[in-house]
Amino acid sequence: MRRIGLLMACGLLTSCVAVGTKVSEEQLMQFQRGKTTYAEVVHALGKPTHATLAMDGTRQVHYIYSQSQMRAANYIPIMGAFVRGADSE
């Protein structure tokens, strides 16, 4: 019985995963091209996933976000083998 409980807890813990920094439209609206500094962006959103500095001095920062959540049907015995899947963003 203890093993079943442990397996269920592990399944619930691995059913959802998110990586990166999610940036909303509202957060983007507070920045102005040519006026907002790199330090202000990093302060508001955190460290970027990737940053590039062009020869003309302009800088681009990239924030990548990915989220995946397993569907509940995956955990139904026998049926889960046929309807596997996840919802991703």
Query: Which has the minimum average pLDDT: 2-6, 20-24, 52-56?
Result: 2-6
Domain ranges of the chain: 16-88
2 Rama class: left (phi>0) / alpha (psi -120 to 50) / beta: alpha
**Beta strand 50-53 with 59-62: parallel, antiparallel or unpaired?**
antiparallel
16 or 74, greater pLDDT: 16
What's the alpha-carbon Rg for the chain, to the nearest Å? 20
pLDDT band at 39 (very low <50, low <70, confident <90, very high): very high
71 or 68, greater pLDDT: 68
pLDDT at 11: 55
- Write out pLDDT tens, residues 16-33: 777 888 888 999 899 998
Q: Where are the alpha helices (H) located in 1-89, listed in sequence order?
A: 2-13, 25-29, 38-45
Provide the token pair at 79: 């049926």
Any residues with CB less than 8 A from the CB of 27 and at least 6 apart, and which?
44, 45
Mean pLDDT of 53-63: 90
